[in-house]
Structures are given as C-alpha cells and as structure tokens.
Amino acid sequence: MFGTLTTFPGGLFNDFDRLQRELDRLFVDSVSGPASIRAVARGSFPAVNVGVTPEAVEVYAFMPGVDPKSLDLSMQDGLLTLAGERTTEAPVDEAKGSVYQKERFSGPFKRVVSLSEDIDPDKIEARYENGVLHVRALKKAAVKPKQIEIK
C-alpha cells in the first residue's frame, strides 16, 4: 500500500531531490566561502597552485595578460605576497558602442600565500613565462632530511 504512495510516474520525488541538489550547489557553495582555511573564495586573482618537494616549495600563479614588470613579489614572516595590475586590452569607445558583459578582471590585485616556516628567505627565485609566475622557495639546509650512510 505505501509503495504506491511514493511511486509516481516520472519519478516525482527524484525530480525534487535533483532540484534540491541543484539549489544547494548554487546557493550553499557560493555563500559558504572557501572549503579550507588556506583556500580563498572562487574568483580570486591570480589562481595559484602550491606544492612541496623535499628541497623546495613551488608556487605557480596563473595570470595571463599581466606585464611581469608590473608585478611586486615579496616574502616576510612566511608570507609570500604577490601584487600587480592587470590592464584591459581593448578600451571601449563610448561613441561607437558599449560593453554589456565583462567577465575578465582588470585592475590592481594582491594575493598572499602562506608558506611553511622552513623556507630560506634568501633562496627564493621567480620566473614569469607564458602567463604563469613560477616561484621556487628553497628550504633551509638544517630542515632537509639527511641521508646517513651505514658502514
């Protein structure tokens, strides 16, 4: 008897479940903010990937269209600060037309990435190529694991 109350042609409750999941994805994910303490809100510029090797911490900042001369990179108290400005490529002449949708961010930006305490601030190198800034921060020698030979 109860089986007929919950089964409708076309799966009515399945449609409600799908609708609920879609609403949760749209509203809850955008309002709740970052997923972790080190994450930032969606849309932060530039997007970064941070990884670690036994010798260094590697940071990749993705910033196409940014002039590397406009970048300012600094390290203080374990915080890597990246600042700069991204300009708009195509200025719009108001007499000829107007912009009705603008999805590309332009203007000044600043991004701070927390690095581990074992970074040697004197051994940081950075290079910019094809819209990607690669920062390599070497670890202090005392922190690196030392292989001991057994005799």
Please give the Cα distance from 45 to 110 (Å, whole number).
8
> What is the full DSSP assignment across 6-20?
H--TT-HHHHHHHHH
Assess whether 124 and 77 both reside in one domain: yes
Number of domains in the chain: 2
Burial of 143 (0-12, 13-18, 19+ CB in 10 A): exposed
Full domain range(s) for residue 26:
10-42
In this structure, the answer to whether residues 110 and 149 fall within a common structural domain is yes
Given pLDDT bands bounded at 50, 70 and 90, which one contains residue 107? Answer: confident
C-alpha distances (whole Å) from 142 to each of 57, 74, 104, 108, 113 are 15, 23, 44, 38, 23
Tell me, yes or no, whether 2 lies in a domain.
no
Q: What is the pTM of this model?
A: 0.63
Q: What CATH number did the domain enclosing 130 receive?
A: 2.60.40.790
pLDDT band, very low/low/confident/very high, at 103 (cuts 50, 70, 90):
confident
Q: Mean pLDDT throughout 105-115?
A: 86
Residue 128 scores a pLDDT above 90: yes
